[in-house]
Structure 1
Amino acid sequence: MRQIRRRAGTDTRFLLLSSSLRGQEVMLRWFVLALFFGVCLSAGEQKKKKAKPQSLSRGWGDSITWVKSYEDGLAKMVKSQKPLMVIHHRLNCPHSQALKKAFAAEKSIQKMAKEDFIMLNLVEETKDKNQAPDGYYVPRILFVDPSKTVRTSIVGKYNSHHYNYKPDDMAILAKNMKKAKVLLHAEL
């Protein structure tokens, strides 16, 4: 009789141990499922962030239509009879970054750029030496009229780098943009 009781006690302990393991197994499955679900959600969020392609604006103004190349800009300029505004800059240049931030924040400049100009921002130099009348430096901004003439007379306030603008020069740049439009209309 004792053996039967002992055996029954062992079976009960075995059953308790077995049901405890099953409970842990179920919990482990739920945990793995929740972990998998969490990883999938975070991967989806990262894909959304990475999927945004860099636009041609490169931060200079997303509402502005930008051309891809100098040659494309010249062709569209001639067809539309609007002046071409060329911004030479570097992505890793702190002066270019500061100018870009000021340019993008200035509403009057953004409006003129959108409505009255063919816009190009270049991170690579063009082969056209007329785009560097006083040297290759960044940032620099030049204007080209529909006759494909670089407007070397439209300059900023600096003697050493005539086509350089700084964040504090947005009023000068806006004035020069207006000059580029007036020169265009005076020639036509």
Structure 2
Amino acid sequence: MEKSLVSVFLLILAVSHTLAKDATTKDGKRDTKEATKPKLPQTLSRGWGDYLIWTQTYEEALFKAKSNNKPIMVIHHLEDCPHSQALKKVFSEHKEIQKLAEKFILLNLVYETTDKHLSPDGQYVPRIIFVDPSLTVRADITGRYSNRLYAYEPTDIPLLYSNMQKALKLLKTEL
């Protein structure tokens, strides 16, 4: 009887020690920061603006653009592309762009669509294309590069902002 009590006691001690060890960091201290830090849910923004409303597919964006009479801004990028990451950082931190982006149907794609209209001059990243509510790709709203018309770099943020305004103005003049 005494042996079984000792065995149960040792088992309880081992389990409690293991559980206590899982609740501490490598240096033996409890990690209270991690437990109290609020976790943001994974969003469709992929870091381009977590508080903006993003669509999941191009088809959904087309439907919302038509039904809400708003232009679409499609951002093509790759998660492991340093140019895409640099543009994303500047885009997400630029308060005026984030505010203006609320007036668009937003979509960011890490893959190519089957719609060839979204790659009029080739498939490269980062690439930003505007589509008006009549579902027409605005080929006239371009970046500053002649070999990659829809490419933007972090230093091109003022031009991107201006092009966003242009897309919205074109919508108002066509109404």
Give the TM-score normalised by structure 2: 0.82
Match of 2:57 among 34, 58, 69: 69
CA distance in 2, matches of 1:108, 1:33: 53
**CA distance, structure 1, for counterparts of residue 167 and residue 132 of structure 2:** 8
Give, as a single letter, the amino acid of the residue that structure 2 aligns with 1:62.
Answer: D
Structure 1: gaps spanning 5 or more residues: 1-21
Cα root mean square deviation, aligned: 2.8
1:39 to 8, 22, 38: 22
Q: What does residue 180 of structure 1 align with?
A: 167
| Rg comparison, structure with higher value | 1
Structure 1 pair 142–48 and aligned structure 2 pair: CA distance change class (3 A): farther
- Percentage of matched positions with identical amino acids: 51
Q: Distance in 2 between matches of 1:52 and 1:112?
A: 23
1:132 has 2:155 as partner: no
Q: TM-score scaled by structure 1?
A: 0.77
Cα-to-partner distance string for 1:71-104 (whole Å, 9 max, x where unaligned): 0000000011010000001111111111100100
Which SS does the other structure have where 2:108 is aligned?
A: strand
CA distance in 1, matches of 2:45, 2:112: 17
How many residues of Structure 1 are paired with residues of Structure 2 in the alignment?
161
Q: What displacement does 1:38 show?
A: 2.5
Which structure has greater helix proportion?
1
For residues 94-144 of structure 1, give each alpha carbon's deviation from its aligned partner in whole angstroms, at most 9, with x where no partner exists.
111111001001110000112x10000001111111101111101100000
Q: Distance in 1 between matches of 2:125 and 2:15?
A: 54
Q: Gaps (5+ residues) in structure 2?
A: 1-5, 26-30
Match of 1:101 in 2: 89
- C-alpha distance in 1 between matches for 2:129 and 2:139: 8
- The 5 A counterparts of 1:1-40 are 33-40=16-23
Q: Deviations over 1:12-66 (max 9, x none)?
A: xxxxxxxxxx9xxx89976763442231566xx88999x8653100000001000
Instruction: Tell me the SS of whatever aligns to 2:137.
Output: coil
